[in-house]
Chain A
């Protein structure tokens, strides 16, 4: 693959995964909730997007529906934790395990009407399926410039930036400020006469809604949906978040959401470099975890040298 080609690939995947990382910014960084639901909701996003697109629903609407369903499952995790007092890790495990079934049945039922989940476990977009390329502003973008398919790149950039701006806007509102307060000091929120649990549920809904959007975009790139797509998304999301926030910690003018997007692209660049060095793709997930570990260690070293707050190692 040419240099431009690989540049395109890692920026593209970086933009997609930056959306998960922005979700983790809310649930993990602000609310300190290690949310394992993401692997399930990432796939849910892909399944919903795939099913709706292949049934000729406008794919931008499909993307929106993916987001809403992701939010809904995230809220379930939140309710399990806040109302039923189940530990954060267990809530994520419970919901993501349930989602394995839900995603499979949804795929099977959506493709063939079979509710036993035995007939079909994947969705592939044939040539006739219209996806984000073909509707709304997608058509206006030239598909290739100098052999690089800029259309996808621009579409993902637009989606990532919209997600970022929405989050930036949200944190300036009363509800958003309350969520930041809830992550920092639940007692303070209680003294305001509000149940901090509500903010937690909202935060998890946002985190998983964003993961679902990322899943939808990912299936758009790979042209199909399969049931193992969600695996590894927790590491990718968290690594992107932590790399972005710790590498750019001293950059004052940049919003955290921007740092997270850059972090996601850097992380994908590192993976691409590893592949370029000739590491077989079967080693991908291992390399992902190793790079993440290095990022964690480096970020905690930086803290010991007199940095202020740390992002990952407690």
Chain B
């Protein structure tokens, strides 16, 4: 479904701090995969997501999505088929709009934003139904400004919203990292349900090794711009938190930490 071919990216180009992260990096995501990506800071996880979403473009190499070259496509155009949930719950929703207005906007994704009424009363039951799956009581708070909800609630809304229109791929950028343990557990459950029910392809970056092993059907560990571990299907099923932790420690020793 998605191929990154011979990607090179560097930061601070032309200065003494120049750092080459990806050197001829190749990565492929197949339809129906739910990939968990782990790795230490600076290993290239977020850069990988940014390349997929178009937040940054590679110095060289190409990004192919369903056979089309999207290397030069802007972020908002890619958003038509790639959904994204961020680490910061503030980014996935609009704080000064109500829950209902957030849904109304998301409901109109990939259509024209013209001069017709934004909020359709007919759709309210549908939004309620979507929200009721979160078990957070959000279905009764449609007229609350999103800004007055908790981080967990906002993230739940961001998730539901990103899965509402048919995106081909869902990008989860450490989307549970800013939440308390209980909320992140709930958000992960909602995520899993969303991905399974809609048969989505998803790429999730996480620092939570348990989530990485428990959810998804492929596990990738990044280090210095390379995928040093890539376990799929059954092989992934057998991978335990200890195995990843062990590999993590080896890397750290290698780096001299």
Q: Which residues from chain A sit less than 8 Å from chain B, CB to CB?
A: 170, 172-178, 180-181, 184-185, 187-196
Contacts and interface: CB of A to CB of B under 8 A. Distances in A.
Interface in B92-118: 92-97, 101, 104-106, 108-110, 112-118
Contact of B109 (A170, A176, A193): A193
B94 A172 contact: no
A196 B113 CA distance: 12
Secondary structure of the A side of the interface? helix
A185 B118 contact: no
B109 A192 contact: yes
Interface string B52-84: 000000000000000000000011110110011
Contacts of A194: 76, 113
- Say whether chain B's binding surface is mostly helix, strand, loop, or mixed: loop
B105 A181 contact: yes
Contacts of B93: 185, 188
Contacts of B113: 174-175, 177-178, 194
27 contacts: A173-B116, A173-B117, A174-B104, A174-B114, A174-B118, A175-B113, A177-B101, A177-B105, A177-B113, A178-B113, A180-B94, A181-B105, A184-B94, A184-B95, A185-B91, A188-B92, A188-B93, A188-B94, A190-B79, A191-B79, A191-B162, A192-B76, A192-B79, A192-B106, A192-B108, A193-B110, A194-B113
A177 B118 contact: yes
Contacts of B75: 190
Q: A172, A180, A189, A192: which has the most chain B beta carbons within 10 Å?
A: A192
B106 A184 contact: no
Nearest to A195: B76
B90 interface: yes
Contacts of B114: 173-175
Contacts of A190: 75-76, 79
B248 interface: no
A121 B109 CA distance: 50
Contacts of B109: 192-193
A175 B118 CA distance: 8
Contacts of A176: 118
